[in-house]
C-alpha cells in the first residue's frame, strides 16, 4: 500500500514536471513557473505594477514571466526599452494574436494587428490621412477650439458650484476624433457617444483586470460564460453603431472629394479593389481603434493634469500668468503659441509623465529570434514595456516621483524633453495620434485656464492620486469648483 502511494505521487510529480513550462537557453531569469498557471500567482490580478517592480528588484531590468503557457519578457528602464523598441524596433514590433484584446478586434486595425503588410498599409494610410485632414494645421485647431465652446458652456453653467469633470473631458476628446473620422460632432446625449464612452470605460477596466488575465492564462475557460464576455458584447455593440454610421456616410459621400477619414478610406478601397487588405470590416476596426486611442488617453491625461493643478494652485496661477502675457490682445490661442509658453509646455508634459496613462504600453511580440541586453529572445515571445519604470526612473528626472514641471525646464527656464519621456511609446509602434493629442492637450488647457479658475472643494478632503488600473490608468472620480477669472 505504501509503495503504491509513493508510486502514484511519483507519477504525479513527473507529470507536473513535464507540464511545467521551461525557459529556453539564455532566456531572461524570472520566478518559478507553475503548470497551466505560469506566473499568475506572482501577480496581483487587480494591479500588477507593484509586483512587476518587486520582480525587477529580484531578477533585474529584463526578466521573464509566463502568462499561462505563454512566454513573456518584461522590460524595465530606459536602456532596455530603448534597445528593444527603437534600436531593434522591427524585431519587437509584433502583436500577440491569441489574447482577449486581440480576439475582440479580430486582429484588424492599426493598434493590435500583427506587424505585416496589412498593418503597414493601414498605418501608412492613417498617418497620411490624419496629416491631410489637419494634423498640425489650422483646420484641426478650429475643430478643437470649436468643440471647446461646448465645454466652456458646461463650465459657465457651473460657476460657483462643483462638478465632476470625468464625462466632460471624455466628451470633448471623443468629439474631436469623431470630427476627424466622420466629419461631424455628436450631442453629448447622443446614443453613439453614450454607448461609446460607457463601453470603452468598461472594457479598459476589464481588459487589464483579473478576468482578462485568467482568459489569457487558461485557454480552457475561454468559451465559458464568464464576466470577460462583457468585453466582447460591448465591442460588438460598438461595431454595430459604426456600421450604421458607415451606411449613412456612404449615402452622402462624393467619391474623390473626401470630407473625412471614412470618405478617404472608401476612396482608397475603391481604388485598390479586392486584392488589398482594405475592406469595410477593416474600416470599422480602424475607426474604433482611433476612437478609443483618441479618447481615453487624452481625457485621462486631462483629468490627471487638473487634479494636480487643483492640488497645487501656485502652479495653476503661474500657468495663467504665462497665458495672459502671451495671449494679451488675442481672441484665442493657437497651437503655435506653445513656442512662447515653456512653462505651460512643461506642465502638460509633466501631466503626461505623471498620468502614465498606458503603463504597460500595448503588448509587443517578437517577430524573429533576437537578442536583448545579452539575453536570447525567441520569436513569438510576448514583450511588456513597463513604461512606469521609464517615466519615473531615478537619474532620468530631477524629481521622478513628484509633479514637478521643472523636469522639463532647463536652467534658463526653457522647455526641453528628456529622452526618457515616452508616454506614447516609441519606434515602429509609436502612437500615430501623438500629434493630435499634443495639440488637444495644449489648446484645451490654455483655453480653460485663461477663462476659469479651478479650486479644490473645501469639503472634499485631501486629493487622492491613487490611480484606477486598467489598460489605461485614470484618476479616481473627483470634483472641482469653478470660478470665472477677472480679465
Phi, psi angles (nearest 5°) of residue 64: -115, 155
Dist CA 69 CA 22 (whole Å)? 10
- Predicted pLDDT of residue 487: 58
Q: What is the CATH number of the domain that holds 90?
A: 1.10.630.10
- Predicted pLDDT of residue 13: 39
- Predicted pLDDT of residue 57: 95
Dist CA 104 CA 115 (whole Å)? 18
CB-count burial class (<10 Å; 0-12, 13-18, 19+) for 1: exposed
User: What does the block give as the cell for 232?
Assistant: 466582447
Note whether 294 and 261 are within 8 A (CB): no
pLDDT tens across the length of the chain (487 residues): 544 444 444 444 334 443 445 788 999 999 999 887 888 888 886 778 889 999 999 999 999 999 888 899 999 999 999 999 999 999 999 998 878 887 888 778 898 888 989 999 999 999 888 887 765 455 888 889 999 999 999 999 999 899 999 989 988 998 999 888 988 888 877 888 788 878 877 887 777 667 787 788 777 888 888 888 888 899 998 899 899 989 988 899 999 888 889 999 999 999 887 778 999 999 999 999 998 888 888 999 999 999 999 999 999 999 999 999 999 989 999 999 999 999 999 999 999 999 999 898 889 999 999 999 999 999 999 999 999 999 999 999 999 999 999 999 999 999 999 999 999 889 999 988 888 899 999 999 999 999 999 999 988 889 999 888 777 788 999 999 999 997 5
User: What does the block give as the cell for 268?
Assistant: 482608397
Note whether 408 and 346 are within 8 A (CB): yes
Dist CA 258 CA 274 (whole Å)? 21
User: What does the block give as the cell for 99?
Assistant: 489574447
* Structural domain count, the chain: 1
- Predicted pLDDT of residue 134: 66
Range of the domain at 203: 2-484
- Predicted pLDDT of residue 344: 98
- Predicted pLDDT of residue 219: 76
**In 10 A of CB 40, how many CB atoms?**
20
Among candidate residues 360, 296, 290, 366, the one with its CA nearest the CA of residue 105: 290
**In 10 A of CB 283, how many CB atoms?**
24
Amino acid at each position: 500500500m505504501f509503495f503504491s502511494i509513493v508510486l502514484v505521487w511519483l507519477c504525479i510529480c513527473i507529470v507536473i514536471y513535464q507540464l511545467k513550462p521551461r525557459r529556453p537557453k539564455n532566456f531572461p531569469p524570472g520566478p518559478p513557473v507553475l503548470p497551466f498557471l505560469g506566473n499568475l500567482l506572482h501577480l496581483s490580478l487587480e494591479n500588477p505594477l507593484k509586483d512587476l517592480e518587486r520582480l525587477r528588484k529580484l531578477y533585474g531590468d529584463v526578466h521573464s514571466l509566463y502568462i499561462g503557457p505563454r512566454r513573456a519578457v518584461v522590460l524595465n528602464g530606459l536602456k532596455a526599452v530603448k534597445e528593444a523598441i527603437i534600436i531593434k524596433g522591427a524585431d519587437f514590433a509584433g502583436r500577440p494574436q491569441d489574447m482577449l484584446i486581440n480576439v475582440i478586434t479580430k486582429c484588424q486595425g492599426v493598434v493590435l494587428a500583427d506587424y505585416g503588410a496589412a498593418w503597414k498599409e493601414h498605418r501608412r494610410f492613417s498617418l497620411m490621412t490624419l496629416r491631410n485632414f489637419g494634423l498640425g494645421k489650422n483646420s484641426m485647431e478650429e475643430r478643437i477650439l470649436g468643440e471647446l465652446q461646448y465645454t466652456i458652456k458646461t463650465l459657465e453653467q457651473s460657476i460657483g458650484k462643483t462638478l465632476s469633470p470625468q464625462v466632460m473631458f471624455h466628451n470633448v476628446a471623443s468629439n474631436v476624433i469623431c470630427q476627424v473620422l466622420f466629419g461631424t460632432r455628436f450631442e453629448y446625449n447622443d446614443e453613439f457617444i453614450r454607448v461609446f464612452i460607457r463601453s470603452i470605460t468598461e472594457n479598459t477596466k476589464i481588459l487589464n483586470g483579473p478576468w482578462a488575465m485568467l482568459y489569457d492564462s487558461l485557454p480552457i475557460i475561454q468559451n465559458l460564460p464568464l464576466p470577460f464576455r462583457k468585453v466582447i458584447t460591448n465591442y460588438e455593440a460598438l461595431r454595430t453603431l459604426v456600421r450604421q454610421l458607415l451606411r449613412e456616410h456612404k449615402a452622402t459621400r462624393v467619391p474623390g472629394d473626401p470630407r473625412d477619414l471614412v470618405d478617404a478610406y472608401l476612396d482608397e478601397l475603391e481604388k485598390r479593389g479586392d486584392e488589398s487588405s482594405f475592406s469595410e470590416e477593416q474600416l470599422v476596426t480602424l475607426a474604433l481603434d482611433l476612437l478609443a486611442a483618441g479618447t481615453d488617453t487624452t481625457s485621462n491625461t486631462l483629468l490627471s493634469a487638473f487634479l494636480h493643478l487643483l492640488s497645487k494652485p501656485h502652479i495653476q496661477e503661474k500657468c495663467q500668468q504665462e497665458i495672459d502675457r502671451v495671449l494679451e490682445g488675442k481672441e484665442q490661442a493657437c497651437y503655435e503659441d506653445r513656442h512662447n509658453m515653456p512653462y505651460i509646455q512643461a506642465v502638460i508634459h509633466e501631466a503626461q509623465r505623471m498620468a502614465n496613462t498606458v503603463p504597460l504600453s500595448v503588448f509587443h511580440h517578437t517577430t524573429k529570434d533576437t537578442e536583448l541586453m545579452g539575453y536570447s529572445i525567441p520569436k513569438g515571445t510576448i514583450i511588456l514595456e513597463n513604461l512606469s519604470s521609464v517615466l519615473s526612473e531615478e537619474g532620468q528626472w530631477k524629481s521622478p516621483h513628484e509633479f514637478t514641471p521643472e523636469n522639463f525646464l532647463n536652467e534658463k527656464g526653457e522647455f526641453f524633453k528628456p529622452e526618457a519621456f515616452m508616454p506614447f511609446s516609441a519606434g515602429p509602434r509609436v502612437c500615430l495620434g501623438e500629434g493630435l493629442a499634443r495639440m488637444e492637450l495644449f489648446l484645451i488647457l490654455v483655453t480653460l485656464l485663461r477663462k476659469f479658475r479651478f479650486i479644490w472643494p473645501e469639503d472634499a478632503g485631501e486629493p487622492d492620486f491613487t490611480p484606477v488600473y486598467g489598460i489605461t490608468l485614470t484618476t479616481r472620480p473627483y470634483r472641482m469648483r469653478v470660478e470665472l477669472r477677472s480679465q
